[in-house]
A = this chain, B = another copy of it.
Amino acid sequence: VTSIEPEQNAAEPEEPSREEVQDAWPALSIDERMDAFRLLPRDEAEELFFSLSARDQLALVQAFPTAERRSWVRLLPPDDAADLVQSAREEDRPALMSLLDDRTKKDVAALLAYREDEAGGLMSPRYARVRPDMTADEALTYLRQQVRSHAQLETLNYSYVLDADRKLVGTVSIRELFSAAGDQPVRLIMHTDLVTVPEDLDQEQLGRIFKQQDLVAVPVVDAEGRMKGIVTIDDIVDVVEEEATEDIQKMGGTEALDAPYLSIGLWSMVKKRGVWLLVLFVGEMLTATAMAAFEHDIARAVVLALFVPLIISSGGNSGSQASTLVIRAMAIGEVRLRDWYRVCRRELASGLALGTMLGSLGFVRIAAWGAISDVYGPHYVLIAATVFVSLIGVVLLGTLAGSMLPFLLRTMRLDPASASAPFVATLVDVTGLLIYFAVASAILSGTLL
């Protein structure tokens, strides 16, 4: 037994440099990244390379001198290589493909036929396979051969049992092969109640399947049941995060950026935000039209204008709460289209409760202020009552519009996340004004109006 050599003395932080680089990465320019990369020992640099996004890998590869590119690109397994090629502009792709070895080139070409955000585009064609008529011991030996012949198998946790037509007939885990008697045939050990997905399944649904079924890998099969590849859970973590980011950005009232905040060009960002801001602004112009319709009321009772921001923003806030909760519940599968009526009933109740709370607070504030000063004139109790009733109406409207709009969008096959807080707020602003002035004219006519 040899003694432990110094570089194997592990479990304490050995190379702070790679971690430092990794930590500073998002803030570095491409030149700084190249420099940092070259200062690292080769194995550290490789680890760093693996941890980068396809976009960052591409930028680095393209910055390297031609002679170095090949060795970096060949590090990547086919699914990651395909992502890298896909990140490049159309005209740069053939040059990148030519850097790959023949086997990987074939795999990558097959993967590129799929869209990036569907199961086929996420899968790896390098999975462990066994045959149903092998014994457990034969299967283990066969797996050992596969590992030795190409070390880039995506996972060894599960092996896929394929018949002579490459049709998937079962799965068997290393664990099960280990615990079975050595001469037992695979067909008697394997599981046959398989979860498989088609090649064109959308990544958001794929993420939901992983979660619901608690999977670590899922086989992708074509229409004939032939095995095409596997998607593993580590790809799904990225998908879950990516989908959440897209939803969050849409819910904040902007188009999905599709790039890190600090890397996206200023002009692209302004465009992605400006489009929605302009749409909302045009919608919001209706508030000026609505206000103009009540200009004479305002002129007679200027005090009414004082509460306009308070009323409409309360509607906007309650609406943005409701839409946020419902959109997220839909995205993670807690709420389905057919649950709309249950959601509607809940929001009706919540809206009434919340509206009454805010309304009461508003009433007390105005009545108290009106009693001790004459800022709201002699009819302050009637004004307080107007605000009370309007707030209930507006908050109720906000919660209903906010919660039902995502359902409406989904029914129309649009993304529910587009029912963003600003969108709902704008909708509620206009209708909220109508409610407010209608309530005012009902309560105040004969006194102030």
> Which residues of A are at the interface with B, using a C-beta cutoff of 8 A?
1-2, 4, 7-12, 14-15, 22, 26-27, 47, 50-51, 132-133, 143-144, 147-148, 151, 153, 155-157, 167-170, 173-175, 178-179, 185, 187-188, 190, 192-194, 196, 207, 210-216, 221, 225, 233-234, 236-238, 240-241, 244-245, 247-249, 251-254, 257, 260-262, 266, 269-270, 273-274, 276-278, 280-282, 284-285, 287-288, 291-292, 295, 298-299, 302-303, 305-310, 312-314, 316-318, 320-321, 323-329, 332-336, 338-339, 342-343, 346, 349-350, 353-354, 357-358, 361-362, 365, 375, 395, 421-422, 425-426, 429, 433
Contact = CB atoms under 8 A, between A and B. Distances in A.
Given A309-B429, A317-B422, 13 more contacts: A4-B169, A27-B342, A151-B179, A174-B174, A215-B234, A237-B240, A248-B251, A252-B323, A261-B343, A262-B329, A284-B309, A287-B309, A425-B425
A331 to B, nearest CB: 9
Given A156-B157, A248-B247, A253 B317 contact: yes
A273 B354 contact: yes
B249 A328 contact: yes
Contact of A27 (B4, B262, B336): B336
A422 B302 contact: no
A316 B316 contact: yes
A112 B190 CA distance: 35
A8, A212, A305, A349: most-surrounded residue (chain B CB, <10 A): A305
Contact of A214 (B50, B193, B298): B50
Contact of A281 (B132, B194, B321, B358): B358
22 contacts: A2-B188, A4-B169, A7-B192, A8-B192, A156-B173, A233-B234, A237-B240, A240-B244, A251-B251, A251-B324, A252-B328, A253-B321, A260-B334, A281-B317, A281-B361, A284-B309, A288-B310, A295-B306, A298-B302, A299-B302, A313-B425, A316-B422
Contact of A320 (B8, B284, B314, B422): B422
Contacts of A421: 252-253, 320, 421-422
B309 A169 contact: no
A166 to B, nearest CB: 12
Nearest to A426: B313
A392 to B, nearest CB: 13
Contacts of A143: 178
A358 B277 CA distance: 8
Given A278-B361, A306-B288, A237 B236 contact: yes
A143 B177 CA distance: 12
Contacts of A332: 241, 245
Nearest to A402: B252
B321 A277 contact: yes
